[in-house]
Amino acid sequence: GAVVSQHPSWVICKSGTSVKIECRSLDFQATTMFWYRQFPKQSLMLMATSNEGSKATYEQGVEKDKFLINHASLTLSTLTVTSAHPEDSSFYICSGFAPRNNQPQHFGDGTRLSIL
Amino acid sequence: QKEVEQDPGPLSVPEGAIVSLNCTYSNSAFQYFMWYRQYSRKGPELLMYTYSSGNKEDGRFTAQVDKSSKYISLFIRDSQPSDSATYLCAMSPNTDKLIFGTGTRLQVFP
């Protein structure tokens, strides 16, 4: 149980385009979803916390206008990287969390974003 | 000082060895402790999850938490080449927002 699906797994696009990444909880209702960024050989860096039906809470230093997060349902959250530039290239990972289940976060398989 | 310290490795061991992975932390409010395994270009996979102090065993994996020393460990018995991955410790006061260690890269060679 507690499966989180993330799509796409890999995307390459030109500088200036916007990219949307989807995160779905397949067998549980994720009232909270987290978005992380991971650089090579480094740990996960929390970008933002999103609760279903509410605005996301961004960590210090993360531009909310650059990284748009929507959590419109209990099973889907999206991260849109707007006007992406090469420095936005990274590995983005989401996780789902349901406090009622008393279980920790379960992670998606990540999205490798490459901006040319 | 980081809230969670973890030796980045790499740690290289022969197949069949017992592996010991460790993290130390400074925040006494942490109550929930997790170990995640991450293969290259994949998301973290939950291995072990413990609450407060004590031991927990699952197959070849044993997690230990010593809150008095602010020290947690993950032991892997009879290590296999398929165990080669990065192991991340994570902890939290209340299971939602996790604080991660930097991860330890483990390589098990045949």
Does the pLDDT at position B95 exceed 70?
no
Mean pLDDT, rounded, for A78-105: 90
Contacting residues of A for B96, CB less than 8 Å apart: 32, 49, 97, 99, 105
Contacting residues of A for B85, CB less than 8 Å apart: none
Does the pLDDT at position B97 exceed 70?
yes
Q: What is the pLDDT of residue A83?
A: 95
CA distance A115 to B86: 26
Mean pLDDT, rounded, for A82-92: 96
Bond into A86 cis (ω within 30): no
Nearest residue of B to residue A94 by CA position?
B43
Does the pLDDT at position A1 exceed 70?
no
- Per-residue pLDDT tens over the stretch A13-37: 999 999 999 999 998 888 899 999 9
- Per-residue pLDDT tens over the stretch B39-79: 998 999 999 999 888 899 999 999 999 999 999 999 999 99
CB-nearest to A43 from B43, B49, B88 is B88
CA distance A44 to A32: 17
Nearest-neighbour CA in chain A from B101: distance (Å): 7
Q: Distance of alpha carbon B81 from its chain centroid, rounded?
A: 17
What the block records as the tokens of B89 is 């410790």
Contact A109 B44 (CB under 8 A): no
Contacting residues of A for B32, CB less than 8 Å apart: 104
CA distance A92 to A49: 14
How big is the A-B interface in CB pairs under 8 Å? 57
**Burial class of residue B14 (count of CB atoms within 10 Å of its CB; 0-12, 13-18, 19+):** exposed
Q: What is the pLDDT of residue A89?
A: 96
What proportion of chain B, given as a percentage, has pLDDT over 70?
A: 99
CB-nearest to B42 from A95, A99, A110 is A110
CB-nearest to B43 from A42, A43, A93 is A93
A50 touches chain B (CB under 8 A): no
| Residue (of A11, A30, A106) closest to B43 by Cα position | A106
- Per-residue pLDDT tens over the stretch A63-72: 999 999 999 8
A37 touches chain B (CB under 8 A): no
Q: What is each CA distance from B74 to A81, A87, B46, B48, B66, in whole angstroms?
A: 36, 35, 13, 9, 12
CA distance B109 to B19: 13
Contact A44 B49 (CB under 8 A): no
CA distance B32 to B96: 10
Mean pLDDT, rounded, for A67-79: 92
Contacting residues of B for A110, CB less than 8 Å apart: 41-43
B13 — pLDDT class (breaks 50, 70, 90): very high
